[in-house]
C-alpha cells in the first residue's frame, strides 16, 4: 500500500482523539538535537473543524482486534485497514517537523495482535525518533490498556506526555460498550504513570542527570454522550483524576455516531454544546477553585445549556454578591462571572496604584456585560441591585449577558 493511502486511513482514524496539546514541557534545543519544545505549546494550523493542529496525529495501525461499539475502527466494521512501519512514521514526523508544520508526534494505535505487541511497536517508533534521529520535539504517546509495566516505563522515558484513555465515564458503560477493555487495565497503567512521574520529580531534585519521566504529565480522554452518565458523575470522575491521579488534563470528546449499534443512542449531531460546557466546568475545577459538588448537585445533575457553569453558580448564590472589586481577594474575584484568571490578576496588580473605576474595569479586560450584575466599584453598583434570581436570569439572557444563543464555535453543518 502506498504511503499516501496509509496516511489517509490512519490520520482519518486518529482524528477522534481530542488531545492536541503540545504544552507543559520546555526543552532547550541542543547542538546535536533536531527540535525543542515550548512550555506554552504552539499551534501550527487549524483544520476545517476549527480545532488546532499542533501534533502529527496518527494511528500506527487501525487493524483492531477489539470491537468497541463507539469506535470507527472496531473489528466488525468493514473499513479499509492499514498499518505504518516504524520507519514511515519516523520519516513523516521528521519531514513535517523540518518544515514547521508540527510541534511533534501524537501516536496512538488500534490493538493489533495484543496490547504488548502493539505497545512494543509504538515504543519502538518513539525510541527511533529520540535515538536515531535525535528528535527533540514533542511526543505524545497513547498507552494501550493492558500493556506491561515495563513497556509503560519505556514509553514514559521517551515521550513528553503519555495517556491512557478512560474511554467512558463508568465501568458499567465500559463493560457494555467496550467489553474487551477492563477498568483495571486502564487504571493500573494510570497509577503506574502517576507514581513514576512522582519518583522522577523527586530524583531530579537530587540529581539533574536523573531521567525525566513524561515531563509534560499524563492526560486522558472520555467520550461524552454515548452512555447515560450525568454531568455530575463525569465531573466527579474528572475531579478524582485531578486530585488522586494527578492528571494534567481530562479531554471530553463529543460522541460522533460513526457506527450503527443498538447499544448506542441515536443522535442527530454530536453533543457539542454539552462538550463545551464540560470543558468550562473542567476549567472551574482546575483554575477557579470550584469543586464538582459546587457546580452540580444530585438535584440538578446536568449543566445548564443557556448559561456557562460559573454564571449558573452565581445565579444560585445571590448571597455571595455583589463583590467589591477594590477589596475582594483573588479567590473571590475568580467567582465573578466575566472575570477570568487574567483579569483577576490584573485587578489585583492595578489596585496597588489606585482605586479601580468602572472605566478601569473595561481597560483591564473584564467582560462587563456579565460582570456588571455581580460587582460594586468602591461601593457603587453598576446596575440597580436586582437580586431576584429569575429576573436576573432573564436580563442576562436578553441583555447579551450570556453567550450568543448559537455559540460561535458550535455552528453545525455550516
Note the residues at the interface with other proteins (CB under 8 A). Answer: 3-4, 7-8, 11-12, 14-16, 28-29, 31, 34-36, 38, 40, 42-54, 56-57, 92, 95-96, 98-101, 254, 256, 269-270, 272, 346, 348-350, 352-354, 356-357, 359-360, 363-364, 408-414
Alpha-carbon span 178 to 173, nearest angstrom: 8
Q: For other proteins, which is the closer residue by CB, 363 or 391?
A: 363
Residue among 4 and 384 whose Cβ is closer to other proteins: 4
Q: Closest separation between CB of residue 363 and other proteins, Å?
A: 5
Nearer to other proteins, 249 or 346 (CB): 346
How many CA atoms are closer than 13 Å to the CA of 149, on its beta-carbon side? 8
Burial 82-120 (b: 16+ CB within 10 A, else e): bbbebebbbebbbebbeeeebbbbbbbbbbbeebeebbb
For the CB of residue 14, give the shortest distance to other proteins in the complex, in Å. Answer: 8
Alpha helices in 102-230 (DSSP H): 115-127, 149-158, 171-177, 183-206
Q: How far is the CB of 66 from other proteins (least distance, A)?
A: 21
Smallest distance, other proteins to C-beta of residue 300, A: 28
Between strands 45-46 and 52-53, the pairing is antiparallel
Cross-strand bridge partners of residue 224: 254
User: Considering beta carbons, is residue 291 or 409 the nearer one to other proteins?
Assistant: 409
Closest approach, Cβ 255 to other proteins, in A, equals 10
Of 28 and 319, the one with the shorter C-beta distance to other proteins is 28
- Answer yes or no: are the C-beta atoms of 24 and 39 closer than 8 Å: yes
Q: Which stretch of DSSP H or E encloses residue 251?
A: strand 249-254
| 36/376 with CB nearer other proteins | 36
> Minimal distance in Å, beta carbon 253 to other proteins?
10
> Least distance to other proteins from the beta carbon of 215, Å?
18
Q: C-alpha grid cell for residue 251? A: 479531554
Beta bridge partners of 37: 27
Interatomic CA distance for residues 414 and 401, integer angstroms: 25
Got the DSSP string for 215-249? Answer: TT-EEEEEEESSS---HHHHHHHHHHHHHHS--SE
Closest CA to 296 of 241, 230, 220: 230
Closer Cβ to other proteins, 357 or 376, answer by number: 357
To the nearest whole angstrom, how small is the minimum distance from the Cβ of residue 101 to other proteins? 5
- Minimum distance, C-beta of residue 1 to other proteins, in the bound complex (Å): 14
Q: Least distance in Å: CB of 365 to other proteins?
A: 8
Of 22 and 147, CB closest to other proteins: 22
Question: Is the preceding omega at residue 101 within 30 degrees of 0, hence cis?
Answer: no
Asked if 47 and 38 touch (Cβ cutoff 8 Å), the reply is: no
Tell me whether residue 8 or residue 386 sits nearer to other proteins (CB atom).
Answer: 8
Residue with Cβ nearer other proteins (131 or 412): 412
* Collapsed DSSP state (helix, strand, coil) of residue 35: coil
Distance of alpha carbon 413 from the chain centroid: 24
Q: How many CB atoms lie within 10 A of CB 6?
A: 22
CB atoms within 10 A of CB 401: 22
Q: Toward other proteins, which CB reaches closer, 36 or 233?
A: 36
Instruction: State the nearest-atom distance from the C-beta of 342 to other proteins, in Å.
Output: 11
HSE-CB of 14 using CA atoms within 13 angstroms: 26
Query: In 3-state terms, the chain is what percent helix, strand and coil (to 5)?
Result: 40, 10, 50
Task: Return the SS3 of 1.
Answer: coil
Amino acid at each position: 500500500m502506498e504511503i499516501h493511502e496509509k496516511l489517509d486511513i490512519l490520520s482519518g482514524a486518529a482524528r477522534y482523539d481530542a488531545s492536541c496539546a503540545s504544552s507543559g514541557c520546555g526543552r532547550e534545543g541542543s547542538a546535536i538535537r533536531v527540535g525543542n519544545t515550548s512550555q506554552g505549546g504552539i499551534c501550527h494550523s487549524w483544520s476545517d473543524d476549527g480545532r488546532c493542529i499542533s501534533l502529527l496525529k496518527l494511528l500506527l495501525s487501525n487493524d483492531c482486534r477489539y470491537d468497541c461499539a463507539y469506535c470507527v475502527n472496531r473489528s466488525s466494521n468493514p473499513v479499509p485497514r492499514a498499518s505504518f512501519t516504524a520507519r514511515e512514521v519516523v520519516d513523516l514526523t521528521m519531514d513535517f517537523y523540518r518544515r514547521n508544520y508540527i510541534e511533534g508526534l501524537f501516536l496512538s494505535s488500534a490493538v493489533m495482535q495484543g496490547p504488548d505487541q502493539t505497545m512494543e511497536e509504538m515504543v519502538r517508533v518513539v525510541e527511533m525518533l529520540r535515538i536515531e534521529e535525535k528528535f527533540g520535539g514533542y511526543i505524545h504517546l497513547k498507552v494501550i490498556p493492558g500493556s506491561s509495566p515495563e513497556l509503560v516505563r519505556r514509553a514514559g522515558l521517551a515521550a513528553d506526555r503519555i495517556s491512557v484513555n478512560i474511554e467512558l465515564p463508568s465501568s458499567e458503560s465500559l463493560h457494555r460498550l467496550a467489553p474487551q477493555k477492563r477498568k483495571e487495565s486502564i487504571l493500573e497503567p494510570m497509577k503506574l504513570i502517576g507514581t513514576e512521574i512522582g519518583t522522577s520529580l523527586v530524583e531530579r531534585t537530587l540529581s539533574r542527570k536523573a531521567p525525566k519521566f513524561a515531563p509534560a504529565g499524563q492526560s486522558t480522554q472520555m467520550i461524552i454522550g454515548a452512555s447515560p452518565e450525568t454531568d455530575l458523575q463525569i465531573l466527579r470522575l474528572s475531579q478524582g483524576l485531578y486530585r488522586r491521579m494527578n492528571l494534567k488534563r481530562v479531554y471530553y470528546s463529543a460522541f460522533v455516531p460513526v457506527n450503527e449499534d443498538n447499544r448506542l443512542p441515536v443522535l442527530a449531531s454530536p453533543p457539542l454544546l454539552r462538550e463545551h460546557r464540560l470543558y468550562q466546568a473542567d476549567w472551574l475545577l482546575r483554575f477557579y477553585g470550584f469543586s464538582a459538588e459546587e457546580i452540580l448537585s444530585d438535584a440538578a445533575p446536568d449543566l445548564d445549556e443557556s448559561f456557562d457553569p460559573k454564571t449558573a453558580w452565581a445565579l444560585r448564590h445571590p448571597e455571595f454578591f455583589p463583590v467589591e472589586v477594590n477589596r475582594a481577594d483573588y479567590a473571590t474575584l475568580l467567582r465573578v462571572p466575566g472575570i477570568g484568571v487574567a483579569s483577576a490578576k490584573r485587578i489585583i496588580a492595578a489596585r496597588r496604584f489606585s482605586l479601580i473605576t468602572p472605566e478601569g474595569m473595561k481597560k483591564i479586560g473584564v467582560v462587563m456585560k456579565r460582570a456588571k450584575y455581580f460587582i460594586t466599584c468602591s461601593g457603587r453598583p453598576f446596575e440597580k441591585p436586582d437580586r431576584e434570581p429569575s429576573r436576573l436570569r432573564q436580563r442576562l439572557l436578553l441583555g447579551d449577558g450570556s453567550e450568543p444563543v448559537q455559540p460561535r464555535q458550535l455552528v453545525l453543518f455550516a
